[in-house]
Each structure stands twice: as C-alpha cells, then as structure tokens.
Structure 1
Amino acid sequence: MTQPLAPDLDRLAQLLLRLGDQHSLPTLTEDVADLFAIEADDTTMVLLVDDPKRAPEVWDVAVVLPEVLATLRNPPISAVADLAASRALAARYDIRRFPSLLFRRGAEFVGTIEGMRDWDSFGPAIDRMRQSPVQRAPGIGIPVRASTPDSCGGSPA
C-alpha cells in the first residue's frame, strides 16, 4: 500500500498536472529528462521544483511562467521536472536554489535562472538564455593542470 503524499506535495503534483493540461508543459520524470533536451532541435527550458515547504517560490514561478511564456515571440521548448527529475538535474548541474529554470541545447548546458523574477524581467531573461551560447556546465569535471616537478615539491632531475 502506498502512503499518501504530504498535502503540499499532493498540491504540487496537482499543479504539475495542471501545467501540462492547461499550458502544454509536460512533466518530465527522471528517466526521460535527458531525452527531452537531446531530441529537441532548439533550446529547451525545464522548470526544476522542490518541496514547496522548502521552496515556496515554486508556487509563484509555476503560476507566472506560463503567462510569461505566452508573451514571448519565440519561447523555448518547455517542460517541468517532477521532484525526482528536478533533484537529479540539480545535482548534475550544481543548481542549489529552487525553483530554477534549466536551459539546454541538445545535450549541452546553456544556463539557469534561479528563483522568482519580477514579471518585467522574466521574459527578457528567458529570451537572453535562448540566445546564449552553450557553456561548460558548472560542477562537471575537474580542472586539470599540468604537473611540473616544482608543483609536487620535488626538484628537477
């Protein structure tokens, strides 16, 4: 028998369903979140959410985002990640604040917009991300430096 969701998580699940039904923002699960970006020919945007008790701005962004997207001349291909997919994507891209908008082009990282924005700045920020070049994703990889005898405390032979 499954345990019922906490009231806020149940309301969040209902909100995610409504975003899909009323605003054509599909909910991505962890197993399809990467396919969503890779199969797109353009910039994708995924709303990452968290438990609303920890991140109450999730409610605000989820309500405002469809309205902002409707005002854009050329909105990005958009979706919302469920809790598990949001956490997995946040860990991969070193995202520490929820809600966040994750932008990718194919498998490449473009950038993020974290937290709630003023209505007037949200649309332009999304447009800037659509036009931004891909970049190295934060938190991925370790910078490699050439080792010299001096850097290890040794002396040249």
Structure 2
Amino acid sequence: MSTQLSALLARAGAPLLDESNATEILEAGGADESFLLLFCGDPAQRPEVLDVAVIFPELLKAFSGRLRGAVVATSAEKALGKIYQVDVFPSLAVVRGGAAVGVIPRIRDWSEYVAKIDAMLDQAAGSVLRQGPRVTITYSHKGAEA
C-alpha cells in the first residue's frame, strides 16, 4: 500500500480487514450492524483509489451511528472480494450480518454514494445481493445464414 494511501486511510480510523479477522470484526456487533468495506486495489493501476480513499472517511462521518468502516487489506482483496461480491477496484461494499447488501464500484458523485448507501441500510436485515451470474449471454440468430 502506498504511503499516500496509507495516510488517507489512517484518517478513517477503520480497522484493516483480512481473511484471519474478517469474521471476528464484521460479526462483533451482531447481525444488525452494518459495515462499509473499502476495497482499494492498486493505486498505481487505478488512480481513482486515492479519490475513494478521501471519500471513505467522509461517508463514515455522514452515516455515523448507522455504519462502521473497515479497509480490506491488499493481500485479502481477492479472497474477500469473492465473498462480498466485489469484482471491480476500487469499490465500497455494504455488509450486514457477514453478507453483502450492495457494492458501489469506482468513483461516484457524493449524492450517488449517499443515496445508494442510504437505500442499502434501509433494506431488510436479511436482504443480501442476489447470487449467481451477473451477466447473461444470449445468442441471437439475427444476421445468421441458414
């Protein structure tokens, strides 16, 4: 993790999440506690990571009392990304009861973050992201020769 990114994330005061402590941290407050997880990715490949890292602590302040935060360790992003359905970096994932409620990929406008996170927090506690493929490939006979 770059020095600049580390400094930005230190502002958030959020714990670093990896495979060894994810269950303990995310389930410590019970099934009704919601977390905002930051999946950074490599800032050298994705410069918008730094923008999302600046927004992350501000979102935690905006949703204070409704949402706790955690930063996913670079070494655990692939494994935890599979669990919490994160395919794109950087992403913010809202997790409740150990399951993903929703994911917001890439950089967004502030109003979009607020609206999406608010909607995710308002969902029923048992509601999680749908399972299965995110893309369905179909075949069209349009233009096919007989």
Alignment of 1:102-121 (within 5 A): 102-121=93-112
Give the unaligned 5+ runs of structure 1.
1-8, 141-157
Give structure 1 regions of 4+ aligned residues with deviation exceeding 4 angstroms. none
CA deviation string 1:71-121 (max 9, x = no partner): 335441111111022221112344211111122212233121111110222
Question: 1:89 and 1:137, CA in 2 relative to 1: closer, same or farther beyond 3 A?
Answer: farther
CA distance in 1, matches of 2:97, 2:59: 23
Whether the aligned pair in 1 keeps the contact of 2:84 and 2:99 (CA below 8 Å) is no
CA distance in 2, matches of 1:118, 1:93: 23
Task: Confirm or deny that 1:10 pairs with 2:10.
Answer: no
Identity %: 31
SS in 2 for 1:104: strand
Tell me which moved more, 67-76 or 80-89.
67-76
CA distance in 2, matches of 1:119, 1:91: 26
Alignment of 1:80-91 (within 5 A): 80-91=71-82
Please tell me the residue identity of whatever aligns with 1:53. Answer: A
SS in 2 for 1:80: strand
Count of residue pairs brought into register by the alignment: 129
Whether the aligned pair in 1 keeps the contact of 2:34 and 2:97 (CA below 8 Å) is yes
Whether the aligned pair in 1 keeps the contact of 2:34 and 2:66 (CA below 8 Å) is no
Whether the aligned pair in 2 keeps the contact of 1:57 and 1:98 (CA below 8 Å) is no
Instruction: Flag the structure with larger Rg.
Output: 1
Shift of 1:56: 1.9
Output the TM-score relative to the length of structure 1. Answer: 0.69
SS in 2 for 1:64: helix
Please identify which structure carries the higher helix content: 1
SS in 1 for 2:25: helix
Task: Confirm or deny that 1:39 pairs with 2:28.
Answer: yes
CA distance in 1, matches of 2:36, 2:130: 15
Task: Confirm or deny that 1:19 pairs with 2:9.
Answer: yes
SS in 2 for 1:79: strand
Output the TM-score relative to the length of structure 2. Answer: 0.74
